[in-house]
Structure 1
Amino acid sequence: MKTSIYNIFFRGLTLVSKFIFIIFLGKYSIDETNLGVFGLLSTSIAFLIYIIGFDFYVFNTREIIASKINLVEKIKNQLVFHLSTYLIIIPISLLIVFNLNFIPIRYLWLFLALLISEHLGQELYRLFTTLEKSKIANIMLFIRSGLWIWVVIFDFFILKNQIDLYRYIVIWALFSYLSFLLFFILTIKSIGITKIKYSTPDWKWILSGLKTASVFFIGSLSFQVIQLSDRFMIDFFYGKKLVGIYTAYAQFTNAIDVFTFSAITMVAYPNLLSSFNDKKNYAIIKNKFSKNLLIASITLIALTSIIGPYIFKFLDKKAFLDELPTFYILLTSAFILIMSNVYHYDLYVKKKDKTILKIALLGMVINIILNLFLIPKYNIFGASIATLISFIIIFVLKFYNSKKILTK
């Protein structure tokens, strides 16, 4: 229980820090461009982390939980896999992101450095969580993703330096590498590595992991496309100012999603898994999970819908208030997404991975098509409508398949 409180505290602190940075950047930048550039840079890194990672951790987590024998070899083999994805994915991604001018070329080396440190930091976070050291994992997450923001605030308000997004990204990169270095040292101590020696990669094990992870990867990637790809389309058709507004709105909905996941879904999932063979108990836990999500999401969305406009007014930029319908559509989308988790995890516990995968792929395809039609005509409002429709379809399909399995 104590560990759970620590985890929620540090994850919450990280989330609040990100939220403050978005408000700070929106308030004190000349216009919405800085928010747009930061939104595209952070979105690109988040998206590429998924591609490079390939959800390989899903396979290795299962292997480590099954047996901690040869733990070092398992970690080394996973690292070899990621080095391979670096060599393939990074050159292609840099060409796309910078050649199409989504991100200014001056950020190239910073982008590359952050992509590597953020990915390795994420993998180490997952490893420590698997090794039941989630308290350390969440402290490291805060150092990597939250602490640097307070240095930025100090730089602006106390040192009185001019606002400079490039300098802020440098500070982010420094803290990202600090977190990685601390994580690396703790990893060596935790698993008892006394010396590092070369060994031939176990390609059979790696290929087995690739096959297992591919199903999860396609599902995760589909979801990331729905959540993140619209920013690139908005930038392509309208530029970075509208991306900045959309990024600020999305920060609110993401905060609600992350909070409900950390506080409710992460707690409910193990209970669903352990009680599955007891149908009566499983139904009770599932209903409680659904009720908790419903109460939490409605409460948070109601509060956000009231507080949000006052925050946007504080930013003192008219465009944030002009586009408020988009904000409310995104909040509705967040509610649909959160409630779909009840049926998502129900299907997952029942090992209906292929059903989940098909639904995710369909949702992604529909979202891309809708974005291509709606964004050119209705700008960020069109993007929010595309997201809402995609999540409604995903919710209905998960609900239907969950009930369909139940009646068999």
Structure 2
Amino acid sequence: MPKQSLTRFTNIALRGITLASKFLLIFFLAKFLEPKELGLYGLLTVTISYALYLLGFDFYAFTTREILKRERHEWGGLLKDQGALSLVLYMIFLPLLSLIFIKGLLPWSVAGWFFILLILEHLTQELSRLLITISEQLLASVMLFLRSGIWAVMVTGLMFFRADTRELNVVLGGWALGSFAALVLGSYRLKQLKVSGWHKKIDWQWISKGLKTAIPLLVATLALRGLFTVDRYWFADLANLDTLGAYVLFMGISSALLSFLDAGVFAFIYPGLISAHHDKDAAAFRLKLKALLWQTLIFSAAFSIVALLIINPLLGWLNKPLYLEHENLFPWTLLITLLYSLGMIPHYALYAQGLDRPIIHSHIASLLIFIPVTWLLSHYWPVQAVPAGLCVAFLFILLWKCLAFIRLTPAQYR
């Protein structure tokens, strides 16, 4: 087997094991925790995911393009600049995030875990993005395995054999240990790369230039990720924390598709799309885009078929009437992730060309559509209103990006 194929196979296998571990964790949490605890876990995870953008400001979108254009001896300066920006953002937003607990959106009992996990996840996420950018996808997958895989297996085993560990604090402690291990590994690899340029003074002008690029993308990302944060809080308000546990379970299963596509498709293809466009190689760009299209369609179809076949037996194994009662939510959550995944095809095609404006506009508009549609449906269809609103929003994003790609991409690149 060629080295590149072996690396890709290993990468996908690692991501597959990580996904299996996450599946294992979510199902054991559904089995051993009360639905309201699973609902709280879901609220905590989406709030951390959303807060990550405030600590990073999506500045990596600018740094990634710059690193791909620069020599290694310049990378240290770029990373130092990004680190300086993050430090400023930490000082601004970490105190402000305490309002989440002051206002009662989350209980104070998870406040310590929230801030520990938020910082660890931000640092490991940025390191993973850097490794993917410089074609170290395999190590990024190992880091993901530590962040999301091995600790989930260990916690699941512990909860299976010891009833006294079946509580949320044990889960969050395992998550923190896994993220810390990933951080140590990523930091060690960065040191091994012997990246130079760290002595360069912080270039605030370059940071300012990057922010002009990153902030519009950040606004778009916050709007998009806002859909996956507001939905949990809104769902809990329309139903209750117990029913939210069912929604979190089904979204956890469905979102595994996105993780698999990130690992097996997107992480390998989008850097090549950027490079092909930068090199003005239209033939290579078309080839990469075709691969992105077909691989996304095949993986999505296969995942959907398997998920629909196994969901009922899995819910039967949980032996909790609440989840079976709300099984009709699962096709909705699966459709949400399918529409999101398909939307990433024109998304990466536009991003690789530096056509950020339609991406930004579609994401902002989707949130503006989601809110009134969900509000209207909530009067007649309260439990299904949120997932149905998300389906409308992601269908809108998909159509907008496809039209923008057709309209803005030069003919030789299509």
Contact 1:330 1:384 in 2 (8 A): yes
Is the contact made by 2:24 and 2:156 (CA closer than 8 Å) also made in structure 1?
Answer: no
* 3-state SS in 2 of match to 1:191: coil
Structure 2 counterpart of 1:146: 149
**1:327 correspondence with 2:330:** yes
Deviation at 1:375, TM superposition (A): 4.4
Q: 1:41 maps to which residue? A: 44
Q: C-alpha separation between the residues in 2 aligned to 1:281 and 1:73?
A: 31
The answer on whether the counterparts of 1:360 and 1:394 sit within 8 Å (CA) in structure 2 is: yes
Q: Find the aligned partners of 2:381 and 2:153 in 1 and give their Cα distance.
A: 36
Question: Greater shift after overlay, 315-324 or 62-71?
Answer: 62-71
- Corresponding position of 2:11: 7
Cα distance between partner residues in 2 of 1:280 and 1:230: 41
Cα 1:211–1:305, aligned 2, differ >3 Å: closer, same or farther? same
SS in 2 for 1:69: helix
Q: Which amino acid aligns with 2:114?
A: F
Aligned ranges 1:89-104 → 2 under 5 Å:
89-95=93-99, 97-104=100-107
RMSD of equivalent CA atoms: 2.7
Residues of 1 paired with 2:351 and 2:366: CA distance?
17
Q: Does 1:339 align with 2:361?
A: no
Q: Is the 8 A contact 1:27 1:315 kept in 2?
A: yes
Distance 2:332 2:115 in 1: 34
Is 1:52 matched up with 2:62? no
Q: Which residue number in structure 1 is paired with residue 88 of structure 2?
A: 84
Given that residues 14 and 141 in structure 1 are in contact (C-alpha distance below 8 angstroms), is that contact kept between their aligned partners in structure 2? yes
1:23-76 CA-partner distances (Å, limit 9, x unpaired): 0010122x3012111111111111111221111112222232323224333222
Q: Which of 156, 159, 162 in structure 2 is aligned with 1:156?
A: 159
Offset of 1:323 from its aligned partner?
1.7
C-alpha deviation, 1:213, in angstroms: 1.4
TM-score (normalizing by structure 2) = 0.88
Write the distance in 1 (CA, Å) between the matches of 2:329 and 2:215.
34
What is aligned with 1:16?
A: 20
Query: How far apart are 1:284 and its partner, in Å?
Result: 5.9
* 2:28 equivalent to 1:27: no
Contact 1:293 / 1:339 at 8 angstroms: preserved in 2? yes
After superposition, what is the alpha-carbon deviation per residue over 1:322-377, rounded to whole angstroms, capped at 9, x for unaligned? Answer: 22222112212222222223322333344432112111111121113333444465
What secondary structure, in the 3-state scheme, does the structure 2 residue paired with 1:136 have?
Answer: helix
Q: Which runs of 5+ in 1 are unaligned?
A: none
* Range with greater deviation from structure 2 (20-29 or 288-297): 288-297
In the alignment, structure 1 residue 182 sits paired with structure 2 residue 198: no
The aligned amino acid for 2:31 is: K
| Residue 358 of structure 2: aligned partner | 355
Quote the Cα distance in structure 2 between the aligned partners of 1:198 and 1:395.
44
Number of residue pairs matched by the alignment:
404
Is the 1:237–1:376 contact (alpha carbons within 8 Å) kept by the matching residues of 2?
no
SS of aligned partner of 2:105: coil
Q: Distance in 2 between matches of 1:198 and 1:401?
A: 42
How far the C-alpha of 1:278 sits from its partner, in A, is 6.3
2:112 to 105, 109, 114: 109
- Alignment match, 2:73: 69
Contact 1:246-1:380 at 8 Å conserved across structures: no
Q: Which residue of 2 is the match for residue 259 of structure 1? A: 260
Q: Within 1, Cα distance between the matches of 2:292 and 2:110?
A: 43
Larger deviation, residues 15-24 vs 288-297 = 288-297
Q: 1:378 to 1:191 in 2, by over 3 A?
A: farther
What does the per-residue CA deviation read over 1:273-315, in whole Å, with 9 as the maximum and x for residues that have no partner?
5666566775565445433332332222122112112212221
Identity of aligned residues (%): 27
The 1:383/1:50 distance shift into structure 2, 3 A limit, reads same
- TM-score (norm: length of structure 1): 0.90
User: CA distance change for structure 1 residues 378 and 406 in 2, over 3 Å: closer, same or farther?
Assistant: same
The SS at the match of 1:324 is coil
